[in-house]
């Protein structure tokens, strides 16, 4: 259940303070966590693990995990310098997670959503079979419940140790997003540092609205690979969120403290549109009474306009 923030720092034996890589100020870990892992001095966004992210976003006590029992297998019996299962085990121990993505339902300011958060600390947030399947289940849950889907991305790309199977997760997650679009259910991604490779070239860039955190590296091919293979000189801001925004690849950059509010605003406005397009949803929502406040009011107004007789409409 929710808000178990696993104290990774202590397990890894790192000191209580951490230096900001941007402004070099020494920051107290506890205070940094309280500030959502954003540097007090310069606003540098530190990486946030999946659990901590859920804790930052979800309303207290509303998180319920989906597909938590899925675990990686080793279909190719992959062995490089170390066997793949050993790498997984280590990642599980280090992060306290069972895979590179954490999926569940929760509320954001009382709004029901399906939320997924990726964790770069788990084998570079790489996408293998389990990440693909958990994403699929998240999308399925969103499509069935008609809750919007929010995915916080952080990934180095496909998981090499699952070979072609991980490449296929790009196709699989794309089909899942297609399924969401058919309903339609709003789908928003939050791209955090770094989001690259197979994730960038599949669901991360297929969202209705793409948000990014400041300074995040977002690209298909990473800067080092580009430098090595094509010997091109890279601009200083290569692949950064700001550069992506300027080149029209993302909708907006939102700093972490504002993220939750902004998500709720965007989803609320998009949901209004869905309610207009699919009348029967109103009925279902009214019955369940799942939403209060201004959204419910707006919904009532729209409904009254479309159905002046006041009788429940039948399909």
Binder of another protein out of 152, 239, 264, 285 (CB under 8 A) = 239
The minimum distance between CB 54 and another protein, in angstroms, equals: 21
Q: Which of these segments, 14-22, 126-134, 291-299, 306-314, binds another protein (CB under 8 A)?
A: 126-134
* Eight-state DSSP code of residue 59: P
Binding mask 147-186 for another protein (x = CB under 8 A): -----------x-xxxxxxxxxxxxx-xxxxxx-------
The minimum distance between CB 203 and another protein, in angstroms, equals: 7
The minimum distance between CB 148 and another protein, in angstroms, equals: 19
Q: Which residues pair with 29 in a beta bridge?
A: none
Q: Cα dist. 196→136, 191, 193, 200, 262 in Å?
A: 20, 10, 9, 5, 24
Phi, psi of 222 (to 5 degrees): -70, 155
The minimum distance between CB 256 and another protein, in angstroms, equals: 23
Query: Residue 124: how many CB atoms within 10 A of its CB?
Result: 19
Is residue 303 within 8 Å of residue 282, measured between CB atoms? yes
Determine how β-strand 218-219 pairs with β-strand 187-196. Answer: parallel
The minimum distance between CB 4 and another protein, in angstroms, equals: 22
218 binds another protein (CB under 8 A): yes
CA distance 177 to 313: 29
Name which of 1 and 230 has its Cβ closer to another protein.
230
Binding mask 275-304 for another protein (x = CB under 8 A): ------------------------------
The minimum distance between CB 117 and another protein, in angstroms, equals: 19
What is the distance between the terminal CA atoms of the chain, rounded to a whole angstrom?
A: 38
Determine the 3-state secondary structure of 16 from DSSP.
coil
205 binds another protein (CB under 8 A): yes
220 binds another protein (CB under 8 A): yes
Residues 52-81 that bind another protein (CB under 8 A): 69-73, 75-76, 78-81
221 binds another protein (CB under 8 A): yes
218: CB partners within 8 A, 6+ apart: 191, 194, 195, 196, 200, 212, 239, 240, 241, 244, 249, 250
Binder of another protein out of 153, 204, 209, 259 (CB under 8 A) = 204
235 binds another protein (CB under 8 A): yes
Query: Quick one: CA dihedral 265, 269, 274, 275, positive or negative?
Result: positive
* Eight-state DSSP code of residue 55: H
> Is the omega angle on the peptide bond into residue 92 within 30 degrees of 0, that is, cis?
no
**If you write DSSP's letter for every residue of 246-276 in order, what string do you get?**
HTTS-SEE--HHHHHHHHHHHHHHHHHHHHH
The minimum distance between CB 142 and another protein, in angstroms, equals: 15
> Is the omega angle on the peptide bond into residue 184 within 30 degrees of 0, that is, cis?
yes
Binder of another protein out of 155, 197, 208, 241 (CB under 8 A) = 197
Name which of 186 and 197 has its Cβ closer to another protein.
197
The minimum distance between CB 102 and another protein, in angstroms, equals: 15
Q: Which of these segments, 145-153, 240-248, 281-289, 296-304, binds another protein (CB under 8 A)?
A: 240-248
Q: Which residues bind another protein (CB under 8 A)?
A: 69-73, 75-76, 78-81, 128-130, 132-133, 136, 158, 160-172, 174-179, 196-198, 200-206, 218-221, 225-226, 229-230, 232, 234-235, 238-239, 243, 247-249
């Amino acid at each position: 259940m929710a808000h178990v923030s696993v104290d990774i720092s202590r397990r890894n034996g790192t000191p209580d303070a951490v230096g900001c890589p941007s402004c070099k100020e020494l920051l107290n870990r506890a205070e940094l966590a309280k500030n959502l892992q954003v540097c007090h001095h310069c606003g540098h966004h530190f990486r946030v693990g999946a659990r901590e992210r859920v804790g930052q976003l979800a309303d207290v006590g509303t998180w319920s995990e989906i597909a938590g029992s899925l675990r990686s297998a080793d279909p190719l019996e992959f062995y490089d310098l170390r066997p793949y299962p050993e790498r997984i085990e280590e990642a599980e121990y280090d992060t306290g997670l069972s895979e590179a993505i954490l999926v569940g339902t929760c509320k954001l300011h009382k709004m029901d959503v399906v939320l997924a958060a990726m964790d770069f600390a788990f084998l570079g947030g790489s996408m293998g079979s389990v990440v693909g399947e958990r994403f699929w289940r998240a999308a399925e849950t969103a499509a069935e419940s008609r809750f919007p889907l929010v995915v916080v991305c952080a990934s180095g790309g496909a998981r090499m140790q699952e070979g072609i199977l991980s490449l296929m997760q790009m196709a699989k997650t794309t089909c899942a997003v297609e399924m969401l679009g058919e309903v339609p259910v709003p789908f928003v991604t939050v791209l955090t540092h770094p989001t690259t490779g197979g994730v960038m070239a599949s669901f991360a860039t297929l969202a209705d609205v793409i948000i990014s955190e400041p300074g995040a590296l977002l690209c298909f091919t990473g800067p080092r690979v580009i430098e090595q293979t094509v010997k091109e000189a890279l601009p200083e801001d290569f692949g950064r969120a700001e550069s992506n925004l300027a080149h029209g690849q993302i909708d907006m950059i939102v700093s972490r403290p504002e993220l939750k509010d902004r998500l709720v605003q965007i989803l609320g406005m998009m949901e209004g549109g869905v309610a207009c397009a699919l009348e029967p949803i109103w009925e279902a929502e009214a019955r369940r009474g799942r939403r209060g406040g201004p959204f419910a009011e707006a919904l009532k107004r729209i409904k009254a306009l479309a159905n002046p007789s006041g009788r429940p409409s039948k399909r």
